[in-house]
Amino acid sequence: MLQVFEAAAGWPSVRERLARRIAEQDLASLDDAVAFAVRWHGDQTRPAGEPYVEHLLEVVCVLVEAIGTTDIDVLRAAVLHDVVEDTECSLEDVRERFGDRVAGLVDWVTKPVPSEGQTREEVRVAYLTRLLSAPDDALLVKLADRLSNVQRLDTHPRPEKRRSYYQETVRSVVP
């Protein structure tokens, strides 16, 4: 049976689900990461219009409920995995608040901004190539991110984007 990971009820509901598997002091640390992500992502939405933070919480649910991950640094990195890529937050902001390990994991899964003269395709290929040497914990975050996005592809308004994202996932991320 295929399990769909949802976080539509928000952090309080997800937190309650995770409380069965994660120690209270770790949940408190995760509270901080969620608040940080919510502050930076603000009113961002996913392509179908739901709050972007739902995606971040789904990634955490995948890691805990499907994989059994309880490593708090991995879970905090999961909540923060798009904060540098999609907001004005810097990797140094993440490092100052959450430490080197969390910042390092976020860095591994953050697509770089194209430098002058570099095409988006060149950046994409370099990013996917770099992922091949990523540490296992960074790959767990990336795979959980992809699962969250793939399970929602049917809600994306552009069919060509659905196809290309799925193809990239099966060809390059989960070869």
The dotted CATH code for 11-173 is 1.10.3210.10
Handedness of CA 84, 170, 149, 47 (dihedral sign): positive
Report CA 100 to chain centroid distance, whole Å. 18
The pLDDT of residue 2? 47
**3-class secondary structure for 47-116?**
CCCCECHHHHHHHHHHHHHHHCCCCHHHHHHHHHCCHHHHCCCCHHHHHHHHCHHHHHHHHHHCCCCCCC
The pLDDT of residue 162? 61
Stretches in the chain below the pLDDT threshold 70: 1-8, 152-157, 161-175
The pLDDT of residue 50? 86
The pLDDT of residue 135? 98
Report CA 135 to chain centroid distance, whole Å. 15
Distance CA 86, CA 61 (A): 21
Annotated catalytic residues are: 85-86
The pLDDT of residue 12? 93
Give the three-class secondary structure for 45: strand
pTM for the whole structure: 0.87
The pLDDT of residue 172? 66
The pLDDT of residue 1? 41
